[in-house]
Structure 1
Amino acid sequence: MKSRHLIALIVIVFLAFCKVSAQEKQVLFTVNETPVYASEFVRVYKKNLELVKDESQKDIDNYLDLFIKYKLKVTEAKALGLDKKQAYLREFESYKRQLSSNFLSNNEVTEKLIKEAYDRLTQEVDARHILVKIDKNAPEEQLKLAKEEINKLRDRVLEEGFEAVKKDIHNGRTLFAEELGYFTAFRMVYEFETAAYNTNVGEWSQPFQTQFGYHIVYVNDKRENRGEVTVAHIMLTNKDSQDSESQEERINDIYKRIKQGEDFEALAKQFSEDKSSSKKGGRLNTFSAGQLSSEIFEEKAFGLERKGEITEPFKTEFGYHIVKLIDKKGLATFKEMENELKAKVKKDSRSVVINNSRINNLKEKYNVKDNPEALRYFTSILNENYYQRSWNTPGNFEGKKVLFTIKDKEVTYKEFAEFLYNTQRRRQARQPFDKLVASNYKMFLESKLIQYQEDNLEFENEEYAHILNEYRDGLLLFDLMESKVWNAAREDSIGLANYYKQHQDKYFFDARADVIIASSVNKKDIKKVAKMLENNTSIDVIKQKINSEKNISVSFIKDTVTTSHQALPKDFNMQKGTSKVFKHNDAYSVVKVNTVLPKTQKTFEEAKGNVISDFQEYKEKKWLEELSNKYKVKLNKDVLKQVKQDLN
């Protein structure tokens, strides 16, 4: 029985392989006899399927239409020679370097660093440090003195204590003694982070070096990572309010209503000025420590312990808030964080560790052997002119000799000599010539290995090749659209004006009104307010009669609004006078419309932004019709039928 299952599995895998192989060779359509293969269309369709919000574009025929238009534009861009322009080539090469870095790392070392980073993330470290600041490329004698200085300071701090040493030495330029507070992985350079995590609480580390100089670090405390929280909030911004009361008074009134038992989410829908969260009852995306730009908000959020617990009103740089705890979780699992950690590791100073490992692997992969004899030769031909930036190779220089080979590519003495010639222009610490040659050789070899791998990556890695080709075409399309559609539409003043005249009915201001909106959970109170509003009673007088210092029954909004305002129902009739009492956002409301500003036609200048956008769309449509006539597209219907079967 097992053998039958195994045979069936083999057949399925074989058929799937055959299907993929067939798609690689099948031509779905041609543009001026240039083939476009079914495999490319299927791959792009699948890749973009989840990103497409327009359901019509998920239809294969509709998506194929978009894909053909895309290929028509690419063909036109190449016909115009846009792929030969220097600006395009520079930008493409820049992207290519960025993209290749994602495919060229040493995965084994990267995985170890990711695991280490996660282990460290489980703890937050509270530390202080002392730093003797010095450039890592400073002369050896200066580095030696800085190292001796940090050793002396360690002896002093053990004997005299941190505060005494700090008072004596800290100058904020060459000597630092600082409290750092709590931090976790990725907040400090890797060497500093490593020293802090490897030092016990209550102890000073041994001296260590980073790019900033020599340090010692003292660990005050280590605590468990606080994880992440999900909260909802009600926010009133710092902008000037049109209401008679201040924002602080309004937030305090809302807080009193919550304490009286009114629903937090309903009040958030009515009053929160954070538009991205108010419709969701104030709910924010889950966040962890350090993710928000407001430390005050984070501390208040993490300070909540029980689900449903709320803070008192507090102020941040963004406005006034009330925060409610929805959920609180510990640190996510390693599996959940793995991709995020991988991206951080590659950008962090840990990347040096990864790079060193990568270079060693490339030397082995491409069978690169160091050449001690060559290094001795270059040491012998260097002289003091190098530090005067006037060094050159001697007349009998052996430039054609092979320095090393990378697979089948020979790198000559001449290439390294040119590298040395160029590096003399940089300021370098004076050092013996053998060390100078060795350090420059290391940089030169690394650059050649990386360049060789990057140049051949497109032929070695299929996924990389696909992504690179998509960007290559995408960049061309951007340049093409900019010249043929976007800029052309903006600069065609006569065409814009004519388009506006022909489509004036599309551009208008919605009806607006100057209103007073009152809301409460108590229908009787709103009915009282409605009568007073009908009698033209002022808001201040109504508040004195309905509300008290301890009990806020009704809240007010005074503003100029459209019918889409969050405090109004969708079917609200914008008519002058006082409305009937209605229920909306889990509260009872009444609206007094003081003045109605009817729907009005926008002038050309008022509508210009929308007109440009619409005119660009119009020009693109006409231009695509021209391309369809210019380039012959021939569709293979049999292949399309097979593609549809495979995708479905």
Structure 2
Amino acid sequence: MTLRYLFALFLTLAALNAKGQNLEGKVLFTVDGEPVYADEFLRVYNKNLDLVQDESQKDVDAYLTLFTNYKLKLKEAKRLELDKKPSYLRELSSYKKQLAKNYITDAKVTDALVEEAYDRTLNEVNANHILVKLNENASPQDSLVAFNKITKLRARALKEGFEKVRAEVHNGQTVYGEKLGYFGGFKMVYKFENAAFNTNVGDISQPFRTRFGYHIVNVLDKRQSRGERTVAHIMVVENKNDSIAENPEVRIQDIYKKLNQGEAFDALAKQFSDDKNSASKGGMLKAFSSGQLRAKEFEDVAFGLKNIGDVSKPFKTDFGWHIVKLHDITPVPSLEKIKPELIEKVKRDSRSKLIDKALTDKLRAKYSISDTPPNLNYFISILNDDYFKKTWKLPSDFAGKQPLVTIGDKTFTYNDFGVYLTNTQRNTSAKIAFKKLVLNKYEAFLNENLIDYQEAHLEEDNEDYAHIVAEYRDGLLLFDLMETTIWNASKTDTTGIKNYYDSHRTDYLQPERIDAVVATSPKQKTLKKVSKLLQDNRPLDRIKSLVNSNDNVDVIFTSDVMDAGHQTLPEKFSFKVGVSKIYKHNDAFVVVKVKEIYPKAQKTFEEAKGAVTSDYQNYKEENWLKGLKAKYKINVNQEVLQAVKTKLKK
């Protein structure tokens, strides 16, 4: 999803049923005489209410300021005729087409497929298969040869055993015999999934065809889905600044030893995990299901833990070394909870062909299209073998004006279908009889135009759809305006950015930092010994050998240049050269040796350029908005505003 799409969706939210009975049609304010209605303000305010981060935006007056600014920008965008740009029109058309899919689908068929998909989310199949590879557009003769071959292989498998035959016939070119393991819904093409789920354990399916060729499936087992796991982890990656634990495997093994000594998993995660997103939460990760993580090794270990509280041994993935603790086992959610997700998966899957057919059948009935196609003999007569060479052209005396089919108030002519035949010949690879080819093309032509016609008239038929499109239209326009007027202009205004930095230098400072070694241990007594050794300036590797052993790790050391927010430092730690007192921090004890203090320092322009550019854009936008307010007069109807506030308090 593009940034433009996300931005427009955030600013132009779906319509709610928030219209005030007494406010509909009431003008809340005008922008240069153009009215903005109270019901629109209510609709957007209510939808935004749960999304805003700044509490001040929930205040009606503050939000009204944001909304009037929004309308001011739209006024300027239309003055600049940004709504006539080809790129804007293409983007809007694409969005409308995407959105329309949610409004013209067949709900009954979709629901049936979603329920089936949910059942297959609850369960998994372990199966092997044999595939006789076949081109999707193979000739009838080649298809028959492949079908006969897979039929013979099934007969052999029934007699000799599936695994024996599978192993013998696999050549990786024309015949594939593969072990698939466990899989659930949406993991295979729909026809394959159907065959696997509809075959009993121990049985071999009848031959069936997918776009890859002919298959037979041997179902070995069926089981309930493993659901979700919630785990915490400690991750260690290579840290070039850590002179003590340069080898991440050594460091993770040290941490594992501390776990076995009885130290708390969450405390060690807070102290030592290199996953900064989860370390402060004791290593906790969001729940995940099979196939959701990029690291299969991590997933296998997590699902291999059986009991709440179990902890894995250290293991490696492409991201680093890990130790995992199991916190929760969650079964597959209810249908109601995951139905929106399943609907989207069904629409993207080959199941969608069933939905498409149900939709076109419904539209044929709506627009009274006969099940009997019109006379297509004329088109059959003008085709020749050039069509399969992709060089066919309409004859010079083509009878294009003759009507072919009518959808609603639009009549499609012979010329419309002739052009369609010409444009789609590149998609025709297999040579088939002209009669069948023309009929197939006509069905596709009719279906496409039925859907296009419905989409084109959807704003007239569906108020919710019309609201969303109108709001997205404005949001997209606003994005183009900001990009043209502020963002791109600011990025290229190098002189303005540099001047802004020079006049706001004190806003861009490097914080005070220290070059330090932090020793962490659950035992205060041990750290007293470490503190003395640090004061004596003993080498760190020597200190480590004195307080730790191969079988027992009492202290972990972290060496780095740190600011006050570093995870190993206690809160409000006072920067002072030397060895600190012993602090209680993150359910353990720490002592810090500060070797050097780096005071606050001015960031160079290059170091601060990203932040300066962002601040400069905000500065330019504020001044630009002041100019718009001077250009376009805003008048707020205070009586209607008070009615809006009263309604929102209910």
Shift of 1:136: 2.3
Deviations 1:186-212 (A, max 9, x none): 111111111100011111111111122
Alpha-carbon spacing, 1:52–1:257, altered in 2? closer, same or farther (3 Å) = same
Query: Could you tell me how far apart the structure 2 residues matched to 1:610 and 1:72 are?
Result: 27
CA shift at 1:426, angstroms?
3.7
* Contact residue 237 and residue 319 of structure 2 kept, 8 A: yes
Alpha-carbon distance in structure 1 between the residues aligned to 2:191 and 2:171: 23
Letter in 2 for 1:450: I
In structure 2, give the amino acid aligned to 1:633: I
Once the two structures are superposed, the pairs formed by residues 260-299 of structure 1 within 5 Å of their partners are 260-299=261-300
Aligned mates of 1:575, 1:17 — CA distance in 2: 61
1:33 to partner: Cα distance: 2.1
Q: Within 2, Cα distance between the matches of 1:462 and 1:73? A: 26
Aligned equivalents of 1:111 and 1:190: distance in 2?
A: 16
| Secondary structure, aligned partner of 1:451 | helix
Residue number in structure 1 paired with 2:456: 455
Amino acid in structure 1 at the alignment position of 2:261: Q
Alpha-carbon distance change, 19 to 336 in structure 1, aligned in 2, over 3 angstroms: closer
Secondary structure of 1:125 counterpart: strand
CA RMSD of aligned residues (A): 1.9
The Cα of 1:428 is off from its aligned counterpart by: 2.8
**Does the CA contact (< 8 Å) of 2:521 and 2:554 recur in 1?**
yes
SS of residue in 1 equivalent to 2:641 = helix
AA at the equivalent of 1:348: D
Question: Which residue of structure 2 aligns with residue 199 of structure 1?
Answer: 199
Distance, in Å, in 2 between the alignment partners of 1:17 and 1:433 is 53
Tell me how far 1:311 sits from its aligned partner: 1.0
Is the contact between residue 19 and residue 42 of structure 2 (CA under 8 Å) also seen in structure 1? no
What residue identity is the alignment partner of 1:91? E
Q: Structure 2 matches for 1:124-203, cutoff 5 A?
A: 124-203=124-203
Name the CA shift for 1:238/1:191 in 2 (closer, same or farther; >3 Å): farther
* Paired position in structure 2 for 1:254: 255
Counterpart of 2:120 in structure 1 is: 120
Whether contact under 8 Å (1:269, 1:566) holds in the other structure is yes
User: Are 1:102 and 2:97 counterparts?
Assistant: no
Secondary structure of the 2:376 match is: helix
Measure the CA separation in 1 of the matches of 2:300 and 2:632: 62
Taking the aligned partners of 1:417 and 1:510, their CA distance within structure 2 comes to: 71
Q: CA deviation at 1:163?
A: 4.5
Distance in structure 1 (CA, Å) of the matches to 2:568 and 2:642: 52
How many Å separate the matches in 2 of 1:111 and 1:641? 44
Aligned to 2:379, the other structure's residue is in SS state helix
| Larger displacement relative to structure 2 (523-532 or 234-243) | 234-243
Equivalent residues in 2 for 1:373-452 (5 A)?
373-393=374-394, 397-452=398-453
What residue ranges of structure 2 are gaps of 5+ in the alignment? 1-15
CA-to-aligned-CA distance 1:579-601 (integer Å, 9 cap, x gap):
11111111111000111111100
Whether contact under 8 Å (2:26, 2:37) holds in the other structure is yes
After TM superposition, list the pairs within 5 Å mapping 1:269-348 onto structure 2: 269-348=270-349
Structure 1 residues 312 and 167, CA, compared in 2 at 3 Å: closer, same or farther?
Answer: closer
Contact kept, 8 Å, 2:244 with 2:557, in 1: the verdict is no
* Alpha-carbon offset, residue 327 of structure 1: 1.1
Distance in 1, matches of 2:33 and 2:341, equals 44
String of CA shifts for 1:145-192, please: whole Å, max 9, x gaps.
222222222223333444544444333333211111111101111111
Q: CA deviation at 1:466?
A: 2.1
Q: Is the 8 A contact 2:129 2:166 kept in 1?
A: no
Q: How far 1:36 moved relative to its partner?
A: 1.5
Amino acid aligned to 1:261: G
Residues 241 and 247, structure 1, Cα contact 8 Å, conserved in 2: no
SS at match of 1:517: strand
Matched, 1:41 2:47: no
Corresponding residue for residue 493 of structure 1: 494
Q: Does the aligned pair in 1 maintain the 2:235–2:320 contact within 8 Å?
A: yes
Identity %: 52
Distance in 2 of aligned mates of 1:19 and 1:126: 53
Contact 1:201 1:219 in 2 (8 A): yes
The Cα of 1:143 is off from its aligned counterpart by 2.2
Q: Please state how far the C-alpha of 1:121 moved relative to its aligned partner.
A: 1.4
1:93 matched residue in structure 2: 93
Q: Match for 2:459: what amino acid?
A: E
Give, in whole Å, the separation in 2 of the partners of 1:430 and 1:18: 58
Answer yes or no: is the 8 Å Cα contact 1:136–1:143 preserved in 2: no
Q: C-alpha deviations, 1:367-411, integer Å up to 9, x for none?
A: 122453422343233333433445444566543333222122222
Q: Which residue of 2 aligns with 1:71?
A: 71
User: Where does the alignment leave 5 or more consecutive residues of structure 1 unmatched?
Assistant: 1-15
1:480 — aligned with what? 481
Q: Look up the match of 1:466.
A: 467
Shift of the alpha carbon at 1:571? 0.6
Q: After the TM superposition, which residues 576-587 of structure 1 pair with which residues of structure 2 at under 5 Å, given as runs? A: 576-587=577-588
Q: Name the aligned partner's letter for residue 23 of structure 2.
A: Q
Q: Match for residue 635 of structure 1? A: 636
Query: Shift of residue 307 of structure 1?
Result: 1.6
Distance 1:425 1:227, change over 3 A: closer
Shift of 1:467: 2.0
Partner residue of 2:80?
80
- Taking a change above 3 Å as real, the CA distance of residues 135 and 47 of structure 1, as seen in their structure-2 partners, is farther
In structure 2, the residue corresponding to 1:331 is in which secondary structure? coil
Q: Secondary structure at the match of 1:431?
A: coil
In structure 2, how many angstroms separate the alpha carbons of the residues matched to 1:429 and 1:457?
A: 37
* Whole-Å separation in 2 of the counterparts to 1:39 and 1:344: 35
Mapped to 2, the partners of 1:633 and 1:516 lie a distance apart of: 61
CA contact (8 A) 1:122 1:225 kept: yes
Aligned partners of 1:308 and 1:324 also within 8 Å: yes
Equivalence for 1:25: 25
The CA distance in 1 between the partners of 2:133 and 2:349, in whole Å, is: 21
Following the alignment from structure 1 to structure 2, what is the Cα–Cα distance between the partners of residues 389 and 297? Answer: 51
Conserved? CA contact 1:368–1:407, under 8 Å: no
Tell me the alpha carbon deviations over residues 58-82 of structure 1, each in whole angstroms, 9 at most, x when there is no partner.
1111111111111111111111111
Contact 2:388 2:430 (C-alpha < 8 Å) held by counterparts: no
> Structure 2 length normalisation: TM-score?
0.94
In structure 2, distance between residues paired with 1:530 and 1:240: 24
Secondary structure of residue in 2 paired with 1:557: strand
Letter in 1 for 2:336: K
Check conservation: 1:262, 1:521, Cα contact below 8 A.
yes
Q: Is the 8 A contact 1:238 1:320 kept in 2?
A: no
Rate the CA distance shift 1:83–1:19 in 2: closer, same or farther, 3 A: closer
* Aligned partner letter, 2:211: Q
Shift of 1:275: 0.8
Q: Which residue of 1 aligns with 2:230?
A: 230
Give the direction of change, closer, same or farther, for the CA distance of 1:537–1:43 in structure 2 (3 Å limit). Answer: same
Paired AA for residue 332 in structure 1? P
CA-to-aligned-CA distance 1:237-269 (integer Å, 9 cap, x gap): 245462323211111111111111111111111
Give the Cα separation in 1 of the matches to 2:277 and 2:382: 67
**Contact 1:371/1:404 (<8 A) preserved:** no
Task: Report which stretch shifted further, 233-242 or 532-541.
Answer: 233-242
State how far apart, in whole Å, the 1-side matches of 2:626 and 2:427 are. 56
Secondary structure (helix, strand or coil) at the match of 2:23 reads helix
Contact 2:382 2:395 in 1 (8 A): yes
Find out whether 1:563 has 2:570 as its counterpart: no
Larger displacement relative to structure 2 (27-36 or 433-442): 27-36
Q: 1:113 Cα shift?
A: 0.7
Contact preservation (8 Å) 1:582, 1:588: yes
Cα offset, 1:472, TM superposition: 1.6
SS at match of 1:322: strand
- The count of aligned residue pairs is 633
Q: What does residue 552 of structure 1 align with?
A: 553
Query: How do 1:346-361 residues align onto structure 2 when only pairs under 5 Å count?
Result: 346-361=347-362
Rounded Cα–Cα distance in structure 1 between residues aligned with 2:17 and 2:449: 37
Distance 2:311 2:371 in 1: 66
Residue 9 of structure 1 corresponds to none
Match of 2:219 in 1: 219
Aligned partners of 1:238 and 1:318 also within 8 Å: no
Instruction: Please give the secondary structure, in 2, of the residue aligned with 1:20.
Output: coil
CA contact (8 A) 1:370 1:404 kept: no
Counterpart contact for 2:312–2:325, Cα < 8 Å? yes
Q: Name the SS for the 1:372 alignment partner.
A: coil
Q: Partner amino acid for 1:34?
A: E
Out of 419-428 and 163-172, give the one that drifted further.
163-172
Shift in alpha-carbon separation, 1:481–1:18, aligned structure 2, 3 A:
closer
